[in-house]
Amino acid sequence: MNIPADLKYSKDHEWARIEGDVAVVGITDYAQNELGDIVYVELPEVGTQVEQGKTFGTIEAVKAVSDLFAPVSGEVVEVNEKLNDSPELVNQDPYGEGWMIKIKMSNPDEVNNLLSKEDYEALL
Amino acid sequence: MEPKKTALYDVHVKLGARMVEFAGFWMPIQYTSILEEHKKVRTSVGVFDVSHMGEIEIKGPKAEDFVNYLTTNNVRKLHEYQAQYTTMCYDHGGIVDDLIVYRYPDRFLLVVNAANTQKDYEWILQHKIDGVEIANISDSITQLAVQGKNAEPTLQPLTDVNLADIKFYWFTEGKLAGVPMMISRTGYTGEPGFELYFDRKYSVDVWNAIFESGKPYEIAPIGLGARDSLRLEKKYCLYGNDIDETTNPLEAGLGWIVKFDKGDFIGRDALLKVKEAGIRRKLMGFVVEGRMIPRHHYEIVKEENVIGHVTSGAYSPILEKNIGLGYIAIDHAKVGESIEIRARGRTAPAEIVKTPFV
């Protein structure tokens, strides 16, 4: 199970890479593995306001459909359009090519509510 | 209760299968990817451990009368070594189970759904008549389904039985991989293929022999996930989803296995009434036009009215579309009808289509 040390995690199995006041968001290797083959990723439009712990999209895997939860609050400033045609990138490279959205954080302190690699690992 | 293990449990774990509890058994849901496993069966050959299925043996001088009374299809039409798809119904016409009846020279073998084995066995015992013996032999049997166009070339080198001689829904007894077994040309995928039934103690040997022989065809183990999407593309019913005690065979599109003219059987009166009055809903297939996989219990909507519910749904790897089945009010149960699928606060347009999907 790949859990990079430089990321922050939510208990809902999203990760966030903090780059200044922007958080790059995706789902963890554990989550993609549990979901199995992913066939759609439904993401919000740029400009949408998202709130920590609330849904920002849905992910359809062959086996099940799941909500995606925002790890931090803020405005969606970019979405990974590649996932429209290649949702399998989430399976293949969950921390890289499979990223989902970038959020311009409205309250960077919320990052403190997220889990470290060790805390997330303990959760699994 | 701790789930049971099939004789191949350790083999699946070693292959890296994701094991889930299904119908009281630890079963492999996927080994690598449901989509890849699905395509493997459609393009070459795959092997399913379906030892969770139940096997109930019925013999004795009255066995034919008895099985004919229990089931809706006409057992008297079966020749020796022929098999038949059928249902058992309740008095009210709801379905106890769907099953395959195999006719041996001296007995019948009923192969039933794993989740229903105990229920079916008790149901059959409840109706037992003099002149029959009933045995639930499920725990001693391994069942492997070898499915796909390369199933026959995979299995033929392992047996002296000429597999080409076995017609669809016929079976034979013979040795394969040196093991005595029942070899049946049946399956739940819509592909050519066989189902093998044998003593569980030979499971690993038979499994290994099949995989060795299937190497040129890149044979692969297939989990329950792909089994579900494969059967759905062919509109084969799944008990517990598409049919159950609240649905009858006529509305499920299984009227072809209800033989009213064969004499009395359990559920006949109720089903005859349904037939005379006309069904009020029908199990139909549909294709979703949006990016939503229909799933069990989602609503089927027409102009804001709920006209039915989804019973099964999947992403079809062959059509690359989302497909589903559901009972739809009879006025709307027409090929070409536009409907919507609703769940989780979203709706997606869909169209009723001809089935099988593939």
Domain of B347: which CATH number?
Answer: 2.40.30.110
> How much of chain B exceeds pLDDT 90, in percent?
98
Name the CA dihedral angle for A56, A57, A61, A63, rounded to a multiple of 10 degrees.
80
User: In this complex, do A42 and B314 lie within 8 Å of one another by their Cβ atoms?
Assistant: no
Name the residue among B35, B292, B344 with its Cβ closest to that of A62. Answer: B35
Which tens digits make up the pLDDT trace of A40-68?
Answer: 999 999 999 999 999 999 999 998 999 99
| B288 close to B341: Cβ distance less than 8 angstroms | yes
User: In this complex, do B291 and A40 lie within 8 Å of one another by their Cβ atoms?
Assistant: yes
Give the CATH class of A8-108.
mainly beta
Q: How confident is the model at residue B290 (pLDDT cuts 50, 70, 90)?
A: confident
Q: B358: exposed, middle or buried (C-beta count within 10 Å: 0-12, 13-18, 19+)?
A: middle
Number of domain units in chain B = 1
ipTM: 0.82
User: In this complex, do A36 and B314 lie within 8 Å of one another by their Cβ atoms?
Assistant: no
Q: Please state, in angstroms and rounded to a whole number, the distance separating the CA atoms of residues B90 and B95.
A: 6
Within-domain flag for B299? yes
Reply yes or no on whether the pLDDT at B83 is more than 90: yes
Within-domain flag for B178? no
Which tens digits make up the pLDDT trace of B332-354?
Answer: 999 999 999 999 888 999 999 99
Interface test with B, best of A37, A85, A92 (most B CBs within 10 A): A37
pLDDT of residue B167: 98
Name the residue among B18, B34, B293 with its Cβ closest to that of A60. Answer: B293
Q: Provide, as residue numbers in chain A, all residues whose Cβ is less than 8 Å from the Cβ of B229.
A: 62
pTM of this structure: 0.94
Within-domain flag for B327? yes
The phi and psi torsions of B192 (rounded to 5 degrees) equal -60, 150
What range does the domain containing B315 cover? 280-353
Within-domain flag for B309? yes
Q: Tell me the C-alpha to C-alpha distance, in Å, between residue A46 and each of A75, A89, B292, B304.
A: 8, 20, 22, 31
Relative orientation angle of helices B224-233 and B34-43, to the nearest 10 degrees: 60
